[in-house]
Amino acid sequence: MGIHSKTAIDSIKRSPFQAISAIFVLTLTFFVATTVAILVYASNQSLNYFETRPQIISFLKNDATQEAVFALQNKLSQDLRIKDVKYVPKEEALEIYKKATEDNPLLSELVSPSIFPASLEFSVTDLDLAEAVISEVKSEAVVEEVGFTANIGGEQSLGDVVGRLKAFSSYLRIGGIVFVGALAVTSFFVLLVIVSMRMTTRKGEIEILSLIGATPAFVRSPIVIEGLIYATVGVVTGWALSLILWLYVSAPILNYFGQVPILPRDPFYFFMLFLIILGIELMVGLVIALTGSLIAVKRSLKKI
């Protein structure tokens, strides 16, 4: 392996521009792949946030007993479609109202806790389940009325936002796969051409090796290692450039989106996300390099 690696590195030094071309194409491919992967992750995170964010508020009847309320609360807590069930008594409802109207204290002075009904607040794990859950909760004996709220507007506007996010996420996935796939195919053919050119320039050397009894594995090993070097350098460089880009833009993006967890705020999880992407890209890059090199070597050896 040592001799083959040295031969591969010497070959790269003899034709640096071919090596730069191969590495540049692979760098571009995996820079775009990393960037698209993060964009897909961010779109999924924002979609999941908006789908599960809206609160369903079931206002309870004034004559509802504590036992009946707690029974309903337990029932909702055990429903797999529902999460974050919270009981809001009249006094807490008044505090929420005061906080919402703190700019106009007169509004809160004119009301008392008795006019605010107690309520059970919860959200659903999937927005598509909201309609069925609301219908079921409305039929409960202790429930007076059911409301549906969201930070981004009412029920209709929420559906519009989620619909647009789903469409955007789908377009991003499809467009990203097509674009990255085209770049990956381009990288594959560039490697194929460069390795074939290497084999042509080493035709005399390969003929001598064959005459003295060198095995096909001995002949092709330096070429395959050279392809793997291109892939490794290209993947790591493209990934690193994308990481630098996201490190630069992540702070303003997180500030802009506020509570929406579009990217990991914890540096550990942020770098773990990129390391996972790097691991996947290294495997893909090495498969491309290995396949391209072996095909080129096989085709070239047949002609020699």
* Token output for 278: 């790097």
| Mean pLDDT along residues 34-57 | 77
Q: What is the pLDDT of residue 110?
A: 59
Q: What is the pLDDT of residue 162?
A: 59
Q: What is the pLDDT of residue 241?
A: 94
Q: Which residue has the higher pLDDT, 5 or 102?
A: 5
CA–CA separation, 264 and 155 (whole Å): 28
* Token output for 9: 């590195």
| pTM recorded for the entire structure | 0.67
Confidence at 247, pLDDT banded by 50, 70, 90: very high
* Token output for 124: 């659903």
| Mean pLDDT along residues 233-257 | 90
Which among 43-52, 145-154, 174-183, 247-256 has the top mean pLDDT?
247-256
User: Is residue 155 pLDDT above 70, yes or no?
Assistant: no
Distances in whole angstroms, Cα of residue 82 to Cα of each of 57, 125, 143: 12, 6, 17
Confidence at 17, pLDDT banded by 50, 70, 90: confident
Coil, strand or helix: which one is 100? helix
| Structural contact between residues 123 and 58, judged by C-beta atoms closer than 8 angstroms | no
User: Is residue 300 pLDDT above 60, yes or no?
Assistant: yes
Confidence at 157, pLDDT banded by 50, 70, 90: low
